[in-house]
Structure formats: C-alpha cells, structure tokens
Structure 1
C-alpha cells in the first residue's frame, strides 16, 4: 500500500474511532468505513503522520536560539498563530479561553490514538505475535515520547521536588469523560519509563520507516529521559544501546549546494529532501516552526556567534569555531525569495537545510551528545571528548579541523554543552536544557528585544491553556 493511501486510510479510521468513542450507543458498524479491530488496522493507525508525527512548537519561542524582528512578525503570526509570538514576548498567557493551544491538543490527540490502539489490542484475538508486539510497542513509544515532551513544556523540570511538583494529566485509557487532575512530575516520568521499557522488550531492532518506532527509538527516548532526570549512568547506557543498533551520521564535508548562486533555496547535494529518507533520524517527529520558505525567524546573535567567530572580538577568537559547515548548510542571509534579511540577519534553513524541522524526534547526533554529556558528568573525560570529536569531524572541513581537548571533566562538560547548543539547535530541546542547567546554577537568562526572562523564572514553564482549565476544573494553572 502506498504511503499516501495509508495516511488517507488511517485518517478515516481515526475519525471513526473518535466518533464512536463519543457515541457509545452506536452498536451497528457504520456503512462504508472501516472500524479498527484488526492488527493491520492498529498498525495503520500508528503510521498516520498528522496524528502521531507532530510534536511541540511553542517551546522554540522561549529560547535564546532565535530572533524574531518586528519586520517578520506579520508572517510569523500568519503561520503558527499568536500563541508562539506571545511566548517569544514572555507573556503570562499564550491563549485566552476562546483559543486553542495546538501543542496541547496535538499531544493529547496522539495519546488518545495510542490509548485506542492499546485498548483495542486487549480484546483482539489474532495470533500474529510479531504484529501484536509491533502495534503495542509503537503505541507505547509514541505515548511515552508525547508525555515526556508535555511534562517538559508545561511543568517544572525534574528535580528533588518532582514528587510534589505539578506535571500534566495522565490519561491512560480511552475515556473522553475522564477529567483527571495533574499528576506529579515524578509520576509522569515513572509512566514514561514504564512504557518505554515495555516497548523496548517487544519491538524489533529496526523498522522500515523512521516514523515507526523500533527498539533503538525506545532506547533513544529513554536516554533523553534519563538525561533529564540526571541519571548519568543510565543516560549513557541507553544512548549506547541505541547507537549499538543504529549510529549513522551524515558527513557534512561531503555536501555541496546544488545551486550555489541561490544558497537560500538550494538543495543540498548528499542530503535527502524526503524526511523518511534521512538516515540520521531514529524516531521521526516534526514541529511546525516558523521558518521553512520564508525564514520568518532568525538566529539570535548569541546562537550565530557559536558558529561564526567573525562578528566577535578578535581577542576572543576561537580556532575551534572556524568554517563550521552547520552555518553553511543550516543558515542563509536571504529569504526563500532572495530578499536580504534586515540588519544582515541569518535565517534558519529548516526546510531544505541541516536544521531540518523533521529533527524534533530522536536523532543519532542527539544520542552521541547525550552519551558525551553523561560521560563527562561521570568524570570519563576522554570518552566524552571522543564522542564529541567524532561528531565534529563530520562538521568541520578537514583542513580546518582540530580535536577538542580538556584538562578536567568540568572543561569537557562545557565543551559538550556548547556542542549540544550548536548541533541540536531548533530541535525543541533547548528550553528543557535551559531549565535543567539553571537548576545546577548556570544562570541562563533569555533576552528578546528589550525584555529579559531571568534564570529560573516561572515563565520558562508554559501556561496550561485557559480553555483546558475552563473545561476541567481539576487542573490548576502554573505560577506566572
């Protein structure tokens, strides 16, 4: 079955699932549609990209990675809506009671689909254990990934107060009438861990497409979760387990622009344009960032200076930052139409560049940097540097490359964290990194124009949508 037809088929089935769950009095099967009851039906549901592929968007706008000048606000508002712009401006509320928070809605829709599959499998009597395991494992990974994303967007970061900190509602069954209160951060993490460990036991090591979770994907999400928990030993272990299954990294030194005279719109020779053909993606998730064709938001000066030392004080020149190909293939001084950006800004090539909006799931480069950070924190300095240097060697032209060195584990950790900021920019991970690093006293604030969000501000935690609270008075709002 062609992928397009699968998407169309699963969209129809999802509509039926949602409809029949709201109308329990319907006993007869509607004519002309397929109600998902077979293992193939559940596997098809797990391949619907619009239902299980989308991930958080608003978190991009609270970070020190981006700059959104006034000149581009109209286009930005027209694409993702006003909520992300309010996040960029550090406003207390992103959506009023009449507005929809797409991040929240998309996440709980994904969870609903996963729960529908898990519920259906409980009564399915087919004997194909391989298909059953695949459907169940995929549903568990998607549910776990989504809850991990939700709790890091709408709650405080995991810490020694997580047992009492408010997390997000845990919906683990198909019941639209259930109105749970917010579970604790610790409880959400415990459920994520439980789902992923179960999935890892039953999934195959590899899958045909990166949007279908496999054992490596389950291990990868576990590695991210353990990093966020500060469990360095397990973060290193599970990143290593995922990489032992799959470890492909693109070598940017082999890339070239197909149309050098139009770098802003040029394809990259050696880097596929199709998301499912990109070999570094372990678990495909995409975010609806502003960027792509119009580059409506730009690199912040701070972010760009990590890549390019020219604008910095020559006295602080760092030879390790010279000729970074992540600038060449990840940014452009022109919009897609060829118009130069104001104030010589650099736009994010997140559609046909290496800062791809499809990188919001699990990638091999994230796994390498997760393991490197964990190793540095475990005082295994050289092993941490080995990981970072193996990655950088594929990002810096050979003639300009030099290994990073560090005298102490603390120095190695700083190098890893800097590399993480460069390599994983615009993937949606930076907000969680800011929150967790500030817990250890790194004092990271974010400035957008004339406004500054100080380190550890409660506004680094996004507000629960007002509409959700109006429909469920068991949910309490975050401090603002």
Structure 2
C-alpha cells in the first residue's frame, strides 16, 4: 500500500477507533467501527499526529529557559496557560474542566497500541513479516509512551520503585476500566518486556523514521536502563543502537540563509523534511510545535554553559523574535523549529545514544572511552578553528563532563528535568529558579500533578503530593 493511501486510511480509522476509547483516562470517543486488518493497523501506525506526538509540559519547568515579564501575555496565548503554570511551579496545571494535553495524547497513543496488539491476537492473515512489523511498532510506541508518562507523573526510579505510585497502565482495551496507578517498578518491567519483544521481531532498518525498527527498540531500552542506573545494560543497548545508526550532523557545515534574521530563513545543510533527517532513531515530536522560539528565551544559566566556539548556541538562538524585534537586555530566543533543538528531536536520536554510552562508560570507570565518545560528538558541534579536546583529572570529572554535554545537546527535549531528578537522588542538590519562584531540590512538584479531570472521572487514581 502506498504511504499516501495509508495516511488517508489512518484518518478514517482514527475517526472510528475512538468509539470505545476509555473515558476514565480522558480520551474522548468518536465513531463506531474498529479496525481489524494488518493494513488497518499499519495505517494507524503511519499517522504521526496520533502516535508520534509526545509531552512537553515538563520542559517549561526546566532551568534551560526563561520567560520575560513583557512576553508573558503572549506566551499564555501561544503556549497556553498550563505552560505558564508549569513555569511558575504551580501545584495544578489544569482545572477539572480542562484536559491535560500531555496526558490525553499519551493515553490516545496507548489506546491505539493496545487496540492493535489486542486485534493481532485474533488476526489470521498469512503475512508474518507485516505482522511482526506492526506488532513491534506498537510495542515500541507503547513502551516509549509509558516511559515518558512515568517520568513525568511519578517519582524517578529508585530503591523505592516497588512501592512508589507510577501511572495507570492499560494493557487491554476496556472502556469500563477504572485503573489505579501501578508502581513505578511495574511500569518499568512492562516497558522492558515490550521493548525486548519488539527488538526480537523488528528489522534493523525501516523505510521511514517514524516507523520503529530494532534501533528504536534498543535506543528506548538504553534510555530506560540509564534512568534505572543500570549502566551495563544502558551501555549495551546504546551501543547496539549506535552501531545500526551512527550518523551525526556536523554543525560546521550549517549556515542560515538570512543570518541577520534566522526566524525568516532556512538552515542550510539541515533537512526541512523529517523523513530526510538521518540522526533520528525514533521520531517523536513535542506536542506544542515551536512552543519556545516566539516568547521563551535561553536562561542565563543555560546560556553560560556554551563556550564561545559552540555552534549549538549560535545555530539555535536568535536575538530577534518572530516579528523581527530584538529581545530586550540581550536575551536570546530559542529556535526550536529547526537545527540543534528541533522539536522533532523529542524521541530517540543518535546523539543521545552516544551520550548514554559515554555516561555508562564514565559511571563504570571507563573514562578514556567516555571521553572518546564525547569527542565524537563535540568535534561536530564546536568550530574547528582552535578546537581543543576535553581532559579530566578524575572519574568524577568525567561524569560531570558527560552530564554537562547532555545539558548542551539535549536541551528543550524534556531530558533536563529527568536528569535533575536523578541527579538529586545522588545528592547533587539542584534547584530551579524562575524569577521570584523557586523549585527546591527534591520538591514534590518535580513530579507533575495527575490531571484533576482524570481524578474526577476515576476515583481509583491518587493524586501526587504537592
């Protein structure tokens, strides 16, 4: 089936799919028919608006960005009131009449995946290759979504993971289910199970980067094991993913077509079409496309991390807003529609795999290998003129260098808040300051609140402490 036909089919199927969607998880139903063929399922998995969107509320809470008072009203209108509430560290981001878009989109994705996986149990078509592809893709999307949800709405994985409340985790399609939150450990166990099964049946390559393959399964496993602190497994799966796809763009080859007003020009050397982006291992894009570059700016703390030769700041920042007006006080706007912090980098990328491999090596004491991995990345991020390699006097310094490189490379992708949470478990004592508001280290508000609307629909879901 041609990809254009798949997209058309998926639009029809999505209208009918949600006829029995779970109202208790705030996913609104539409239509009356359920898809049933392998091509139906492939069409659903080809609809990137439904299975490739991912959360971004937690980004507004990070120490990477700032919001000028003069831009606050515009940001409310564009990114939404919930984004400002997240930026201000408020106890609730939505009232009982509002849907949390991060939550709603995630559970719609889970519903699609569970519909497909349940349907495959009764499907008798004789096409094992397509069956494996469809099943593997659904498993990867389900696992990635659960990993995102549990890191947004639950405590970070730790020694208390077997008792810490995680998320409601539907594995079947049941419109009457009033699911409680299972533990964080239970969620991780299911993620691991899904991904290992997916990796065993998916091909190494796929025709389009929004269709998961082995590398996508390996990459999500690497991220999961990193969050668990399982350094050996994190290294193993990051290495497997990187061996399948090791392409990293060299920012020394990029340039803006209109250097004086980057928002109006193209970033030459960087593909405009997602399908052509070679560094994407699993394509996911932020729910609010371009949610930062109009109103939010680089925080002073984030801006100070970049050296004078670092091309990431040069290519990803702009002194002018969307209308061409200069930001006040030397602030720099965030370019998240193209280049280093492209909102389409919200899934798994080759550079994240390299950084996970580097951190795992550093944590395991393989400092030379960790530094070598950092250099593979940095030589494509730093201007070649006067380029100098990193050095470290101790294993602890190597770990710090890796964590700093994660802050530079994975900014505005939801990684930072998770890194702060796991760092604070190690005693790093990281707080976040947004103007007059402070989020102290280990504050309960590092975990986002379960939407009030969801709790009003399902009394079995217990709210996070505020």
Equivalent residues of 2:14, 2:44 under 8 A apart? yes
Q: Secondary structure at the match of 2:301?
A: helix
Hey, what's the Cα distance between the residues in 2 that align with 1:229 and 1:410? Answer: 19
- Per the TM alignment, residue 431 of structure 1 is displaced from its structure 2 partner at its CA by 0.9
- Per the TM alignment, residue 269 of structure 1 is displaced from its structure 2 partner at its CA by 1.1
**Pair 1:289–1:404, CA change in 2 (3 A):** farther
Hey, what's the Cα distance between the residues in 2 that align with 1:367 and 1:49? Answer: 23
Task: State the partner residue of 1:476.
Answer: 462
Q: Deviations over 1:285-316 (max 9, x none)?
A: 01134746852111100001111xxxxxxxxx
- Per the TM alignment, residue 409 of structure 1 is displaced from its structure 2 partner at its CA by 1.2
What are the ranges of 5 or more consecutive residues in structure 2 without an aligned counterpart? 24-30
- Per the TM alignment, residue 35 of structure 1 is displaced from its structure 2 partner at its CA by 4.9
**Pair 1:462–1:284, CA change in 2 (3 A):** same
* Alignment partner of 1:400 is 2:376: no
Equivalent residues of 2:429, 2:441 under 8 A apart? yes
Equivalent residues of 1:293, 1:335 under 8 A apart? no
Hey, what's the Cα distance between the residues in 2 that align with 1:388 and 1:36? Answer: 46
Task: State the partner residue of 2:294.
Answer: 295
Where do 1:338-417 residues align within 5 Å?
Answer: 338-417=324-403
Hey, what's the Cα distance between the residues in 1 that align with 2:104 and 2:330? Answer: 37
Task: State the partner residue of 2:267.
Answer: 268
Equivalent residues of 1:265, 1:352 under 8 A apart? no
Q: Secondary structure at the match of 1:298?
A: strand
Equivalent residues of 2:340, 2:409 under 8 A apart? no
- Per the TM alignment, residue 265 of structure 1 is displaced from its structure 2 partner at its CA by 2.5
- Per the TM alignment, residue 77 of structure 1 is displaced from its structure 2 partner at its CA by 1.5
**Pair 1:165–1:292, CA change in 2 (3 A):** closer
Q: Secondary structure at the match of 1:329?
A: helix
Equivalent residues of 1:80, 1:288 under 8 A apart? no
Equivalent residues of 1:223, 1:367 under 8 A apart? yes
Hey, what's the Cα distance between the residues in 1 that align with 2:392 and 2:292? Answer: 40
Q: Deviations over 1:15-60 (max 9, x none)?
A: 212225689xxxxxxx9x9852211111111111111011011010
Hey, what's the Cα distance between the residues in 2 that align with 1:152 and 1:35? Answer: 31
Equivalent residues of 1:266, 1:352 under 8 A apart? no
Task: State the partner residue of 2:440.
Answer: 454
Q: Secondary structure at the match of 1:282?
A: strand
* Range that drifts further, 65-74 or 202-211: 65-74
Task: State the partner residue of 1:463.
Answer: 449
Task: State the partner residue of 1:313.
Answer: none
Task: State the partner residue of 1:8.
Answer: 8
Hey, what's the Cα distance between the residues in 2 that align with 1:108 and 1:187? Answer: 17
Task: State the partner residue of 2:28.
Answer: none
Q: Deviations over 1:372-417 (max 9, x none)?
A: 0110000000000000011000011111211101122111110011
Where do 1:37-56 residues align within 5 Å?
Answer: 37-56=36-55
Q: Deviations over 1:314-373 (max 9, x none)?
A: xxxxxxx23111011111111122111122211111012321000100000000001101
Where do 1:81-96 residues align within 5 Å?
Answer: 81-96=80-95
Hey, what's the Cα distance between the residues in 2 that align with 1:338 and 1:251? Answer: 28
* Range that drifts further, 394-403 or 236-245: 394-403
Equivalent residues of 2:319, 2:326 under 8 A apart? yes
Q: Deviations over 1:183-206 (max 9, x none)?
A: 000000000000000000000001
Where do 1:229-378 residues align within 5 Å?
Answer: 229-289=228-288, 291=290, 295-307=294-306, 321-378=307-364
Hey, what's the Cα distance between the residues in 2 that align with 1:416 and 1:22? Answer: 42
Hey, what's the Cα distance between the residues in 1 that align with 2:335 and 2:379? Answer: 22
Task: State the partner residue of 1:75.
Answer: 74
The alignment covers a number of residue pairs equal to 460
**Pair 1:135–1:420, CA change in 2 (3 A):** same
Task: State the partner residue of 2:18.
Answer: 18
Please, what is the CA RMSD of the aligned residues? 1.8
**Pair 1:383–1:76, CA change in 2 (3 A):** same
Hey, what's the Cα distance between the residues in 2 that align with 1:105 and 1:290? Answer: 16
Hey, what's the Cα distance between the residues in 2 that align with 1:193 and 1:408? Answer: 33
Hey, what's the Cα distance between the residues in 2 that align with 1:199 and 1:13? Answer: 24
Task: State the partner residue of 1:418.
Answer: 404
After TM superposition, the score normalised by the length of structure 1 is 0.93
* Alignment partner of 1:441 is 2:427: yes
Hey, what's the Cα distance between the residues in 2 that align with 1:360 and 1:195? Answer: 20
**Pair 1:349–1:108, CA change in 2 (3 A):** same
Task: State the partner residue of 1:127.
Answer: 126
Hey, what's the Cα distance between the residues in 2 that align with 1:266 and 1:351? Answer: 11
- Per the TM alignment, residue 70 of structure 1 is displaced from its structure 2 partner at its CA by 1.8
* Range that drifts further, 271-280 or 102-111: 271-280
